Structures are given as C-alpha cells and as structure tokens.
Structure 1
Amino acid sequence: MTAMTAMTSVSEPQGGVGASAWQPAADRFTRQEYPPVGRSGLRLGRIALGLWHNFGAADDEAQARAVLRRAIDRGVIHLDLANNYGPPPGAAESLLGRVLRDELAGLRDELIISTKAGYVMGADPHGDGGSRKYLLTSLDQSLRRLQLDHVDLFYHHRPDPNTPLEETMAALDHAVRSGRALYVGLSNYPAPLLRRAAALLRQLGTPCVIHQPRYHLLDRGPEGGLLDALVDEGIGCIPFSPLAQGLLTDRYLDGRVPADSRAARPGSFLRPDMLDEPRLRRACALQTIAAARGQPLAGMALRWLLQRPAVCSVLIGASRPAQVDEAISAAAAPALSGAELATIESAALG
C-alpha cells in the first residue's frame, strides 16, 4: 500500500479539534486568481501559505490547523515547506502530514505541496548542500514526514559552491523522473547561476518552473538582474518574507517590540536591532501612503509585489486565520496606479 493510499484510507480524524465537522468552502476557488507560473501550466494562486514559522513543535497545533483550514476556505491551494522548517527541523512537515491525514485527505489532488532541501539537516557528510545523495535522501525523508508518495514541487533551497551544478540539477531531474516530484524549482540563486541552472535543467528535460527569493519593499535585491533573468527564462517568481518578517505591518511603527511579537522570540529573523530609525522612517512613510488608499500597510506591500515582473504568487506566513483573510483581500484590492507606484518607490528607497 502506498503512502498516498495509507493517507486517504484513514476514516477518523486524529488530533484535529473539530476536524470531523469542517468541510471546505464550496466557493473557495472563486476567492482569488490562479495565474500560470512562468511559461508552465502550473498555477499556485496569487496568495500561497508558507509554513516557515508558526508550524513548529512548540507552536499551538490547534491554531496551526485553524490557519490551514481558513487558507483552504479562501482558495489557497499552495502550501510551502522545507525540510528544515520547525523548529526543530522537520516539525512543520510532520505537522502538515498529520493534517493531510486527519482533515485534508480528500483534498490532496487539488493542493500544491512543495518542499526544499539545501540547508543543514544533519552532522553527517551529506547533511546539507546540493549533492545527489543529500537531495534525494532528504526528499525521501520529507515524504515520510508528509505521509505522501510525492510532492508537487521540489526546490533546491540554496546554491552549494562545493557541489558541481550539474550534479545538483541532475538530482532535481531524477526527483521528477522517479515520481517523487512533479515540478522543480530553485531558491536563493543569484541571476547568473540561475541562468546556468535553468539551461542545464532544460537540457535534461525537466525545466525549472519557479524561483523563490527574499523580496519586499525594503529589500530590492532581485531587481539587480534576477527578475530580468526570470522573465527571460520563463520562470515564475514567488517571493518569501513579503512583509519583511513583520516590519511592513503596523506592529513596530512606534519602534517598540510587543512581548507577543515575532521580533520578541529568541532566534527570530527580525531582531530588535533591525528596528532602526532609517527602516522605521521608511515603513512609516509607506504606512501613510497605504492609509491614503484605505489599505493596511501589509496589504499594500503584498499588492505591490503582485505587480512586479515575473511575480506569479506571494508566500505569506500566518499565525492567525484573520491574517489569511487580510492577504486574500490585498490580492483582490485595486492595482496600484503609476502615481502611487512612484510615491511608494520614493518612500521605500528614501
């Protein structure tokens, strides 16, 4: 019996509070648009849910399940993971595996589930990087945690200077040919390396369909050639950290760190020292523009990204169901005008 058959054969929810009573909204696919990813036939939806934060072993599982249910009700079909998401590493995949078994078994075929490998997962010689051994072993481990026989999308999470690019791309190609994944993507690759990798994958017959960079109003790195490369190669762009880990929300505009905020957590990627005067000044200026158009700062930041070249979807994080609603509303908001874009540009770079 395959992992897929095992998952769909479970008849009673295990661990899902109220799981047996929940049914996905019948109109969920009318809640957002599903543009194609680059020149592929894959469609992810304007808003996708990332499980980087809020789905670890120390997080509230009932709340995480509520976020997942709300996301699906609002038309989110893409759930994004990596082998190291937690903490501890692997915890987010294990949690989603339980939810897939308990509550979402009948929805598997409509979901796009992605995972990645590339960062440290073990102390052994093949515990990170881009070797064939690491990538395929990690993917098998991810499938066991997810209780699936394949993922829809498998990424190399970061370039590995110690492994030939040809070996890494051949491993991604093998992941598809072996039935472990349907599509492959890259993350955190600079433009020149992305072009080389895309050419290798085309030669192998397994094209790169998507790239996942960090990109938001205050971090414009992809504009230094990456977006042009993605357009040229026909590869979709799905930015992560679209709200700068919360800086592009109203939580920190006064410079204080709320006790229950992400910045207050030990090991957070948004450190209190990052709430410096230049960043806060720019965030406050952007907040003024957002207020003038009747939109939260976070919503305007998402709307801005969705108008950037090659961007087909944006990965949000959510600790509460209401944050999913806000993101879906942002995607449906009127497009930013040329004048608004110019004003935003001045504020973001000022």
Structure 2
Amino acid sequence: MTYTAATNRYDAMPYRRTGRSGLDLPAISLGLWQNFGGADVFETGRAILRRAFDLGVTHFDLANNYGPPYGSAEENFGRVMATDFKAHRDELVISTKAGWDMWPGPYGGIGGSRKYLIASCDQSLKRMGLDYVDIFYSHRVDPTTPLEETMGALAHLHRTGKALYVGISSYSPELTRKAHAILKAEGVPLLIHQPSYSMLNRWIEDALLDTLEDLGVGCIAFSPLAQGLLSNKYLNGVPADSRVSKGGSFGEQLLSADNLERIQALNAIAQARGQTLAQMAIAWVLRDPRVTSALIGARTVAQLEDS
C-alpha cells in the first residue's frame, strides 16, 4: 500500500534548537537500535517508522552495527526510505554512528581510527541508499586512537558533504571539551552529544550538561526509559524474555530490588499525573531545556504511541 504522510504531522510535536546551531530536532526522536534488524521484523519496523513520521518525529537514529545482524537496521531503513520516505528526505534528520565492532580483522573492530570511521560512513550510506547523513557520530571513545585522529575523521566527513553535522556519544565532560576544541580548530562545529540519561541514570547531571551548555552543544538522551524499566513492562517484576533480564550494556546495573521498588513508586506518581510511567519518564528527561531530544525505541506502534 502506498504511504501518504499525515497532513497534520507537524501540529503537535514540539521542536527544540540543538545547542547554538541552526538545527531543530523533535522533542522525541526514534532510535532503531534493537528492533529494526533482520528480515522478520521489517513490516513491523516499517509501520513504526510511518507512524512516527505521522506524529512529527523527523529524526531517526541508527548505527552501523544496529541489528542484529550488524548493518540490517540500516538496510531495512534504506528500504523504507526508498518506498515511503523518498519524497520526504529534506524533512528528515537521519543520523548514524560508528565506533563498535563491525567487520572482521584489525580495521573493523572497536575503534576510532580514520580508516574505520570513513569506511563505516561509506558503508552506512550504501546500506541506506543515501548521499549523506545529517549527523555522523563517533559512537564511543577509543582510548587506543588519538582523539585528534578520530575528530579529524569526523571533520573530513563533514567537509566532503557525507555528514552535514558531527556528534559524539558517551564521552566524558573532559573529552567532550577536547573533542570540541579539536573540531573547532578544524573549522567544524560539534553539534551534539548523545549520552544515556533517565530517572534511574543521572550521571550527566554531574558535569556533562553544564559542559554542553557552556560549549553550545546539543544533547540527545538515549535510553530515557532505562532500557524499558521505566515502562509498564516491569511493574509486576522482570519478564523472563525481557532485554534487561539478559544483561548487557547498563541494564544489569539498573536491575535491582531498589530500582524495582522505585519503579512502583514512580508509576503511582505518573498515575496521579494522568500519565503512563513511560510518558512521565520522557517528560522528566525533557524538563531540562539543555536536553534537545529524548531518543526512544519501540517494538510496536502501540509502544510508540504510549511515549
């Protein structure tokens, strides 16, 4: 069925300026981390993307290794771009990232080398069928590669038009300042930082938010629902098939008896506010004007609409 975008798609979604740049992002952006890889989820993912755009979500966030398998989220997104969103390319902000392991051998592993980052960007563009991405991120700090080399690769991608803007993810305040200074010397602005942030994970309040404000850099918070903990999924305990029960990333750190009690208490507050727990959690992240956008994931259209 041919997709026709909703004519009222910009009526309800608020948009926020990204730092001191000229770019606005929707208050809620959609990440394609866990639920968009592989052939068996394509139609569900396509429905989520269509509904998101109809709701005013204009920013879609990917990475080279999103799947599984690696690269499949970008491939699926590229299919949706070709069939549904081609006429709307200039209405979209599409981002991707590189920094984690991607292909075999010494040049495709975890890293921030010039060779890895530029090759990764080229591969991502090919998978998505794009001439450029709006934002390209260094997905992680690589302690074995000079920061000057990593930022130099981002600057190269910016100058060659393969990335309109560049960003970093999960960098400390100190390394954020260094990255900003290196890019500034290259004549390239650091647009945005993508850290984890939620009511259960508040590390960026110690210094990073102040740093970003001082530098004029935007902030897009990933995992505002704490990998789903701040949703109705965990109100009655931890489902055996849930992502967080399987560990990995920071889910294990958040999965504790104390946090499960906090979730129950927070849900009571949300109900008193006339919100779902997920809605309150996202609103909480966005309460700080220094946060440009909350980056959510969704397994179904219903989950998306609950946010």
TM class by smaller structure: over 0.9
- Partner residue of 1:181 out of 139, 152, 163: 163
Match of 2:23 in 1: 42
Q: Secondary structure at the match of 1:114?
A: strand
Q: In the aligned structure 1, how far is the partner of 2:205 from the partner of 2:29?
A: 22
Structure 2 residue 48 is the aligned partner of structure 1 residue 87: no
Match of 2:121 in 1: 139
Structure 2 residue 296 is the aligned partner of structure 1 residue 289: no
- Partner residue of 1:224 out of 185, 192, 206: 206
Q: Aligned ranges for residues 297-312 of structure 1 at < 5 Å?
A: 297-312=277-292
Q: In the aligned structure 2, how far is the partner of 1:276 from the partner of 1:93?
A: 34
Q: In the aligned structure 1, how far is the partner of 2:13 from the partner of 2:291?
A: 15
Q: Aligned ranges for residues 101-116 of structure 1 at < 5 Å?
A: 101-116=82-97
Which amino acid counterpart does residue 23 of structure 1 have in structure 2?
T
Q: CA shift at 1:275, angstroms?
A: 3.8
- Partner residue of 1:76 out of 46, 57, 60: 57
**Larger deviation: 177-186 or 271-280?**
271-280
- Distance verdict in 2 for CA 1:96–1:238, change over 3 Å: same
Structure 2 residue 120 is the aligned partner of structure 1 residue 154: no
Match of 1:9 in 2: none
Q: Secondary structure at the match of 1:231?
A: helix
Q: CA shift at 1:256, angstroms?
A: 3.6
Match of 1:243 in 2: 225
- Distance verdict in 2 for CA 1:247–1:218, change over 3 Å: same
Decide whether the 8 Å contact of 2:226 with 2:254 is kept in 1.
no
Q: In the aligned structure 2, how far is the partner of 1:49 from the partner of 1:254?
A: 27
RMSD: 1.7
- Distance verdict in 2 for CA 1:38–1:140, change over 3 Å: same
Decide whether the 8 Å contact of 1:213 with 1:238 is kept in 2.
yes
- Partner residue of 2:237 out of 235, 255, 261: 255
Q: Which has the larger radius of gyration?
A: 1
Q: In the aligned structure 2, how far is the partner of 1:258 from the partner of 1:56?
A: 22
The CA deviation string for residues 55-99 of structure 1, in whole angstroms up to 9 with x for no partner, is 011642111100000001000100000001000110100000111
Q: CA shift at 1:325, angstroms?
A: 2.2
Q: CA shift at 1:269, angstroms?
A: 5.0
Q: In the aligned structure 1, how far is the partner of 2:220 from the partner of 2:256?
A: 28
Length, aligned pairs only: 306
Decide whether the 8 Å contact of 2:30 with 2:295 is kept in 1.
yes
Q: CA shift at 1:44, angstroms?
A: 1.3
- Distance verdict in 2 for CA 1:190–1:243, change over 3 Å: same
Which amino acid counterpart does residue 205 of structure 1 have in structure 2?
G
Which amino acid counterpart does residue 49 of structure 2 have in structure 1?
L
- Distance verdict in 2 for CA 1:273–1:169, change over 3 Å: closer
Question: Scaled by the length of structure 2, what TM-score is found?
Answer: 0.95
Decide whether the 8 Å contact of 2:65 with 2:100 is kept in 1.
yes
Q: In the aligned structure 2, how far is the partner of 1:133 from the partner of 1:85?
A: 20
**Larger deviation: 229-238 or 247-256?**
247-256
**Larger deviation: 250-259 or 186-195?**
250-259
Task: From the two aligned structures, give the one with the greater strand fraction.
Answer: 2
Q: In the aligned structure 1, how far is the partner of 2:253 from the partner of 2:20?
A: 41
Match of 1:165 in 2: 147
Q: In the aligned structure 1, how far is the partner of 2:248 from the partner of 2:152?
A: 34
Decide whether the 8 Å contact of 2:227 with 2:251 is kept in 1.
no
Q: Aligned ranges for residues 47-62 of structure 1 at < 5 Å?
A: 47-57=28-38, 59-62=40-43
Decide whether the 8 Å contact of 1:262 with 1:270 is kept in 2.
no
Which amino acid counterpart does residue 241 of structure 1 have in structure 2?
S
Q: Secondary structure at the match of 1:49?
A: strand
Match of 1:313 in 2: 293
Give 5+ residue unaligned stretches, structure 2.
Answer: none
Decide whether the 8 Å contact of 2:13 with 2:27 is kept in 1.
yes
Q: In the aligned structure 2, how far is the partner of 1:274 from the partner of 1:222?
A: 16
Decide whether the 8 Å contact of 1:58 with 1:87 is kept in 2.
no
Q: CA shift at 1:292, angstroms?
A: 1.1
Q: In the aligned structure 2, how far is the partner of 1:73 from the partner of 1:270?
A: 32
Q: CA shift at 1:267, angstroms?
A: 6.6
Which amino acid counterpart does residue 101 of structure 2 have in structure 1?
V
Q: In the aligned structure 2, how far is the partner of 1:193 from the partner of 1:272?
A: 26
Question: Scaled by the length of structure 1, what TM-score is found?
Answer: 0.84
Q: In the aligned structure 2, how far is the partner of 1:306 from the partner of 1:248?
A: 15
The CA deviation string for residues 107-164 of structure 1, in whole angstroms up to 9 with x for no partner, is 1111100000111112322213111111000000000000111001000000111111
Q: Secondary structure at the match of 1:302?
A: helix
Structure 2 residue 89 is the aligned partner of structure 1 residue 96: no
The CA deviation string for residues 232-260 of structure 1, in whole angstroms up to 9 with x for no partner, is 0011110101101111011112214165x
Which amino acid counterpart does residue 250 of structure 1 have in structure 2?
N
Q: In the aligned structure 1, how far is the partner of 2:240 from the partner of 2:141?
A: 36
